Structure 1
């Protein structure tokens, strides 16, 4: 049996996809669900059991005769190493194949220290986390970086806030440490993938905004992450704000959204008002403490983000906009400003059924997305079936 995309629907990956919902099934149930011959299902299950990707899930109640064995996906068969790297900190994690986070740690950094220093920090943190978890093979490594990435090569592509990173071979450096596939993407893309995987798997069209030191967007289109031709899709922070005036941005332009509504810009505005704001966290703390000036500044930042986002909503027509990042920790003040501008500026048809909500995954959205990116890759039909290909070919020859 061949799918419309040329993937063998009788391959091990096809059986695994069925079992990945976590529901134990008997061989007979798998045969009924897939339409495969019993001998084919038995052979595919044997391969998946040998690889550790499927395990026995108990037996069903007997109605006379021998009870039938049940089989279920085994997410703990492999570890996934994941990291979301921002401008000033990184969230580093170990996950399983079900994208469950087993161990997580946040570390401070300065992205301008360069790739060698930052990647060494990630490797050291992963090794420390692995000491505290069960031993398992590493399936792959997923990394999110705060700039455009050429996803096919894993190399940063002219990132505006990452001196020394342009064109650096990130996968080669990490593969040398762990000997596993390494996938790299923009951090906001991975936050979008994390939110979609963990909280909104049924939403086909959504935009995820990260408002922190920088501001970016990740796009889910038809249920799939949209990266763009050069990996630069969603670079919201460097679109000019209508009232951005001459605010100088780190990219060299003026009036960019990031220079007007990013965390450092908000902190600077509050310092001008005599308030003790030296970081994005200080801004959020002042808002949460009920400071009126801080609330006013953050709400205006929401309006500015909404002004830029309104055009995206009219063009892309999502059903959901998710607002995350450290600035979003200020809560309803930011969301209210975003909603105000979007509903005022976007086309009524585009906003009729639009929801604008706070992030559900929060600080772990990026590492959840990094883990999901790896899992989707290593368990894809192309990769998994190729890995088991030699055995599959031998079995197929015997069935012919």
Structure 2
């Protein structure tokens, strides 16, 4: 927030959204602004439709005097579109600004078909979902997209993605915004699009909804590939250019060829794709991590054994991750996130990491399941659009 006595409308909105100040008196106390100035700032937010009076009725003012009306963020004035791409499957949804899923669709979408085909199809999905949710396209304030590869968050472009052939450097933001506008019909302007790695957004969604008090949170997604999302002090940690968390390409000493072109990567021997390959070699019809998930759900003994072995390999690498980051929560997600894999992770993790690093560590499986990426993508868009520094820009653009 800006200095005391200099708070902007966006700073006041942030105080209300976070619950730190929800009355005019509390806002005066938190910002040092006069009553008149607070009123002027709030009037702009009311005219934009972003604030409303709370349903709880008046509460005591911290400054004394008459009880104050509570204020709250109006999470019904707009909606967010979100999509989560896997290698052969995708999910898309319309979400409220509070993160509630209003309409959802999942289906086959093959990432190797390339960005033009995949993003064009997502545009059609979004238009159909808005109709299903009963929301006009003009209520969409932004789009969030999770992809299975490293993303430069400044440009929204994937950078040398091992399992996304044809996507390197593609203008995903522009293509998806255009596809949505084309499918949604006339009168729809350019909608902002945010793109991030799927493990990052899964971690963000899970941390915000279930572990908001955890200041160091790690999620590991084990599906066709392996990746990790890290949330520190409530923000995604991406590294310099989006490469943080790419643990699937740590070398583990084998000679197995990885899809990235190198030998000995963790993903080449311990991902859902790697387990599927070994099961196929044994005569079982498995082509992807989702096929392995189905076999694990059925209790297939060979799949269970290979999943536990894969968990041990991942656990060995995670011992270093845990020692480095000292997280409070380590969450396992993705196609292999079941008891056999988790057992293998714990065996090696607690054996290799120092007791000091794991003394206050919870090793858990995902709570949101396949919706984690959608929830995280929606939260990313809302956090971006209603950040204090962006609120002023948007209010001026609206003429408020």
Calculate the TM-score normalised by the size of structure 1. 0.89
1:292 and 1:238 map into 2 onto residues whose CA distance is 28
Shift of residue 11 of structure 1? 1.4
1:36 counterpart residue number? 33
1:216 and 1:9 map into 2 onto residues whose CA distance is 42
Q: Deviations over 1:175-200 (max 9, x none)?
A: 33251211111111111111111211
Instruction: Work out whether residues 194 and 381 of structure 2, in 8 Å CA contact, stay in contact via their aligned partners in 1.
Output: yes
1:2–1:263 distance in 2 versus 1, CA, 3 Å: closer
Of residues 384, 396, 400 in structure 1, which corresponds to 2:391? 384
Instruction: Work out whether residues 82 and 92 of structure 2, in 8 Å CA contact, stay in contact via their aligned partners in 1.
Output: yes
**Two-structure CA RMSD over aligned residues (Å):** 2.5
Which consecutive aligned stretches of 4+ in structure 1 deviate over 6 angstroms post-superposition?
Answer: none
Which is worse superposed, 359-368 or 259-268? 259-268
1:332 counterpart residue number? 339
Q: Is it true that 1:314 corresponds to 2:314 in the alignment?
A: no
1:220–1:281 distance in 2 versus 1, CA, 3 Å: same
Shift of residue 68 of structure 1? 5.3
1:109 counterpart residue number? 109
User: Aligned ranges for residues 1-400 of structure 1 at < 5 Å?
Assistant: 2-3=2-3, 10-21=7-18, 25-58=22-55, 60=57, 69-133=69-133, 134-135=135-136, 137-176=139-178, 177=181, 179-242=190-253, 245-328=254-337, 331-389=338-396
Shift of residue 391 of structure 1? 9.2
Q: Deviations over 1:207-247 (max 9, x none)?
A: 111110111001112332111112111111111224xx222
What secondary structure, in the 3-state scheme, does the structure 1 residue paired with 2:295 have? Answer: helix
Which is worse superposed, 10-19 or 114-123? 10-19
Instruction: Work out whether residues 50 and 77 of structure 2, in 8 Å CA contact, stay in contact via their aligned partners in 1.
Output: yes
Instruction: Work out whether residues 21 and 27 of structure 2, in 8 Å CA contact, stay in contact via their aligned partners in 1.
Output: no
Gaps of 5+ in 2: 182-188
2:190 and 2:243 map into 1 onto residues whose CA distance is 28
Instruction: Work out whether residues 292 and 335 of structure 2, in 8 Å CA contact, stay in contact via their aligned partners in 1.
Output: no
2:374 and 2:226 map into 1 onto residues whose CA distance is 18
Shift of residue 281 of structure 1? 2.8
Instruction: Work out whether residues 205 and 220 of structure 1, in 8 Å CA contact, stay in contact via their aligned partners in 2.
Output: yes
Gaps of 5+ in 1: 395-400
2:59 and 2:192 map into 1 onto residues whose CA distance is 44
Q: Give aligned pairs, total.
A: 385
Instruction: Work out whether residues 19 and 73 of structure 1, in 8 Å CA contact, stay in contact via their aligned partners in 2.
Output: yes
Q: Deviations over 1:21-64 (max 9, x none)?
A: 4799443344345443211221122111111111122473699x
Which is worse superposed, 294-303 or 282-291? 282-291
Instruction: Work out whether residues 266 and 283 of structure 1, in 8 Å CA contact, stay in contact via their aligned partners in 2.
Output: yes
1:253–1:66 distance in 2 versus 1, CA, 3 Å: closer
2:307 and 2:128 map into 1 onto residues whose CA distance is 38
2:184 counterpart residue number? none
1:332–1:390 distance in 2 versus 1, CA, 3 Å: closer
Instruction: Work out whether residues 112 and 164 of structure 2, in 8 Å CA contact, stay in contact via their aligned partners in 1.
Output: yes
Instruction: Work out whether residues 208 and 234 of structure 2, in 8 Å CA contact, stay in contact via their aligned partners in 1.
Output: no
2:366 and 2:392 map into 1 onto residues whose CA distance is 35
